[in-house]
Structure 1
Amino acid sequence: MHLELILLLVCTGLFTGFAAGLLGIGGGMLLVPFFTFIFTVQQFPADHLVHMAIATSLTTILFTSMSSVYAHHRKGSVIWKAAFMLIPGILIGAWIGPTLAAMMDTRVLAGFFGIFVTASALQMLLSKPPEQAGTLPGIPGMFAAGTGIGTLSGLVGAGGGFVTVPFLTWRGVPIHKAVGTSAVMGFPIALSGTLSNIYNGWGLPDLPSGSLGYVYLPGLFSVVVSSMLTAPLGARTAHKLNVRQLKRVFAYVLFLLAGYMIWTALKS
């Protein structure tokens, strides 16, 4: 692996780790565009660029989610009953998502990701809590919700927070408990989605060296290690700054990244 590629990946991890710690978000929506750019520069196979970016981004959550869950659990912010009701559907959906992605042209997948990130940025920018629709549904309803959340998360390579938190708050869960419960979803989404991405990319002859299915292992480990260095710094910085204003800035950054992915989808 070239030194240039290592430096690009490490810098990506440093930035996304800091942003995740600062704003309390997962790095998936940042990582996918950055991975797409880096893999393009390195001339990875065009047909698999976005698939690899999404798969590698999703796999990072396996390593970064546990500390977040523990922190939320210590604060009493996790509704474990709700989490366990969502997880079966999450596991199924997170397998389905990458399977659907594997059937999609890489440009279509890039466009879908761009639209999703645009919607997420609008949600962050407006910061309007959804109107509540009563209590949490029963087991069938939670299973269906988990399947939908897992499928979408597996498609875009994210931990599901931008879908899970609005769903839980819509069903009457206080926001801090919705965030804590949503954090629990990261690991099962990443586990099932990673296995699906390995399976769906297994044996493809033109993937670069170091790939495990669609997961690019050098990118995975470079980003995980470097992001762990800066995430605590981001969390400490959050207590000193106006995070509401930072989230607005971050929303505009997401718009730019979404624009890049949409441009990737439209270019010939």
Structure 2
Amino acid sequence: MKKLLNTVNWLVLCGSTLLVVLILGVILWDIFSKGFSSISLGFITSYPTNGMTQGGIFPAIIGTVLLTFITTLFAVPFGVACAVYLNEYAKPSLLTNIIRASIRNLAGIPSIIYGLFGLALFVQALQLGTSILSAGLTLGLLSLPYIITTTEEALKRIPNSLREATLALGVTQFETIKDVVLPKALPGILTGVILTLSRAAGETAPILFTGVAFYINGISASASQEFMALPYHLYMLSTQHNEIEQVRPLAYGTATILILLVFTLNSVAFYVRFKNRTQD
């Protein structure tokens, strides 16, 4: 009976995995088969023309890259610093348990809530206006819980004996963290950061109210200007355009570029993780 039960469980797990992979494969095949025909060098490097019915997505690509860059500058230093404090300095107490629980709860809040909060805080209260800076800071808030959690998990994997050995040599706790703990945990931290940023790059709701625009004439050269982004551009082409059937090939091409961008970031994270395991 145990062997039969194990076999049944294995078949259920394999069947569930194959079902998910099959559904994902059908979705990707549908997008790629219709999207690659629209992708060309001109599509990537040109501006939209004729009411967004022709041309390319170059401003949206640049806007997505700049948005991710601002998100990184804001979220990574604060997220890593918070994780270092919680794991290395904070004593186990009710307060730290509440902080950790709050961080995990924040990770489960719908992204549209972050968009509304960013509108109230950055756009209105701080008077940054609808701009790429407001959108990047909003995405930074969205990314913080994930970066804190993944960084703390990476720090927990470092044996305490390593910390105790360095402290026994007379090294300060700060120097131990800076020179020993963080370098050893860096691959895990980078993996979590890259995966978080790849998720943030595909978000639409947080930037919907904070600075993204359907079309701008040129590329945003200032952090106080509105911008175009791939996820919002795809949303508009797919649901809000007056000529949806005419722009459908452009929408599939935009979706393909966005998927490839996220896939590239995820591949970098997997490579960092694989390299770290190989070295270990």
TM-score, structure 2 length as denominator?
0.27
Structure scoring higher RCO (CA < 8 A, sep ≥ 6) equals 1
> Which structure's CA Rg is the greater one?
2
